[in-house]
A and B are shown apart, each in its own frame.
Chain A
């Protein structure tokens, strides 16, 4: 006899969807109340980011950009969730979440400087965001802190954090959820499940059938959403934000998505660990194709608009690259200066030493 208590928990975490891969509405009641202009803006951001991704990969090959983590395939997961954020909300991204940073207000040139490994790439002004996190899941506990701080300050704002599927194995992930839950802090945790942590498939990452169910142990809400469906991603994120502000607690959102490209530009070869069939299968669910069909069906998107967005992206990238090229090379003395508010003796001596070397 199987008691009710031993039923698998994943049955409670069905994937939420509004648009199917053909761009047809399959969940009419859930369609969000977005204006035509908002819908178009979301599409523009996704198209823009796809072009940026293509350019970044080729600029990296030419040696004009450095470290870059590809985003193609994850546009709905990244940008439709970010679309639910307000300007004053806080963003704690991973290395892959540069598009959200840019649409949150960080200039593109900063993204390029970060990629090249220039300290100015992390200098943000007037943007409520932390720098891309390299240490997997470290942003999760920090998000609990930012969210608790917002609450203590009485702000009607929310802390959003992004991380991958692999990140949900880290202690910091569980700790972040648990802390946020304990303090009932206004936080939204977005796990972008793109099926792989570098080469390790999510099936080997955990015995949990969904990542969303990991919310249960922390006593917070969890939801799994079709991460290739911009409307569904937007709706769950928006709701999570509203609940957070209303004092109803944090949420874990799992977006089912896929990265078409390599893990990063640092020598990853996806053919070693995944099949072309799998990639093709996911490409059929592409968020841009899906959303384009949906918008075309409503006469909201045309070839001209698509082309104008592509042109805009290309121009912006060109201008940002030029600006990055004109940024003075960083010196060791620049780096010494940003170590402390006031330099201790050793760094002061080294500052003098390197100043001499640099003036030679």
Chain B
């Protein structure tokens, strides 16, 4: 098995799918010769030609519309939004159009589009680049939202996303792109969309999280273990649809939960997870579910990122509050 960074795993997934299925097309701003501003599509245009991997004019709503149109011609578009903060430009083409294509055609048409996009804080991008906007798409019926936390999952989930017959938003946390390597099998394999992963087992509390906060939560769990608290850490991997089964069975074991997200608090993924827990497992709880989030401001100017983003200590404190309730 190869050791890869998350971004290498992502490139590998696209290469495999471009090779496997001639209907797969990769396009977006700067994805061709430049290989993407993060080099996620590095080498793909050289290997597969400009017919399959190409630059678009600078217009996200155009990119989204193009993807839907190509899907109507039987292609499998893998479109890139250069930074997820720019997704507002493509909101109509995604939320009003792609997400409703199957529904509006009475089930006749579908949009097998994968929307890849970097997001997430901690890397000092200028404003409007790093925002965690996944919550918007949790409230968008008709799209799935996938957020890998490591190279192995990134490759397997991206392959699944490209093969999925419905639109999938695939969000790549910028801080995870090159921060560590992990084992990634050569060749094709898939990780199922909609399935969470227990990345650390424990009996005292369930920490439910995703994206870059998985690493943060794992570090917190290690420190908590030194104090005799055994935390189970669940990496959601897909936030829409949610794997409620894994969440509920973990809570039945631990009877306590803390949800950790990098995004702002209001109407976020954590709020949704907590609502599902209330509906399905409230009688198994011994304490209210804790929530660790960023405050409800606009994503901060880069100089203030480090104090704004939730950290290990925030998780530790919240877990202890839940345990000592």
Contact = CB atoms under 8 A, between A and B. Distances in A.
> How many of chain A's residues touch chain B, expressed as a range?
35 or more
Contacts of B2: none
Contact of A205 (B57, B126, B308): B57
B167 interface: no
Contacts of B127: 117, 134
B295 interface: yes
A169 B58 contact: yes
Interface string A196-235: 0111100011100000000000000000000000000000
B235 interface: no
A346 B55 CA distance: 43
B296 A347 contact: yes
B55 A272 contact: no
A205 B62 CA distance: 12
B37 A67 contact: no
B300 A335 contact: yes
A261 B33 CA distance: 18
A354 interface: yes
Nearest to A205: B57
A329 B303 contact: yes
B154 to A, nearest CB: 21
Contacts of A166: 57-58
B61 interface: yes
B128 A199 contact: no
Given A166-B58, A169-B59, A198-B34, A135 B86 contact: yes
Interface string A146-174: 00000000000000000000110111000
A332 B298 CA distance: 11
A318 interface: no
Contacts of A350: 265, 295-296
Contact of B126 (A117, A170, A204, A339): A117
B60 to A, nearest CB: 8
A167 B128 contact: no
Contacts of B3: none
Interface in A175-215: 197-200, 204-206
A186 to B, nearest CB: 27
Nearest to B86: A135
B304 A272 contact: no
Interface in B36-60: 37, 55, 57-59
A167 B58 CA distance: 7
A197 B59 CA distance: 12
B284 interface: no
A200 B303 contact: no
B57 A206 contact: yes
A169 B62 contact: yes
Given A117-B126, A200-B30, A332 B304 contact: yes
> How many of chain B's residues touch chain A, expressed as a range?
35 or more
B124 interface: yes
The interface centre, meaning the residue of B62, B296, B298 with most chain A CB atoms within 10 A of its CB, is B296
Interface in A254-278: 266-268, 272-273
Contact of A332 (B32, B55, B61, B307): B307
The interface centre, meaning the residue of A119, A199, A332 with most chain B CB atoms within 10 A of its CB, is A199
Given A118-B303, A167-B58, A332-B295, A134 B128 contact: yes
A266 B35 CA distance: 15
A314 interface: no
Contact of B33 (A205, A206, A272): A272
B303 A335 contact: no
A282 interface: no
A198 B301 CA distance: 23
Contacts of A335: 295, 297-298, 300-301, 304, 308
A190 B214 CA distance: 46
A280 B143 CA distance: 48
A347 B303 CA distance: 20
Nearest to B62: A169
A136 B304 contact: no
Contact of A331 (B34, B57, B302, B304): B304
Interface in B85-99: 86, 88-89
A66 interface: yes
B265 to A, nearest CB: 7
Contacts of B266: 346
A167 B266 CA distance: 33
Given A118-B303, A169-B62, A329-B303, A66 B295 contact: no
A197 B295 CA distance: 35
B295 A354 contact: yes
Given A200-B30, A273-B34, A332-B295, A171 B301 contact: no
A1 B125 CA distance: 55
Given A200-B57, A206-B57, 13 more contacts: A66-B303, A117-B126, A117-B300, A117-B302, A169-B59, A199-B55, A266-B37, A266-B125, A332-B297, A332-B307, A335-B301, A339-B297, A347-B296
Closest 3 pairs between A and B when the two form their complex, measured CB to CB:
A117-B302, A199-B34, A169-B57
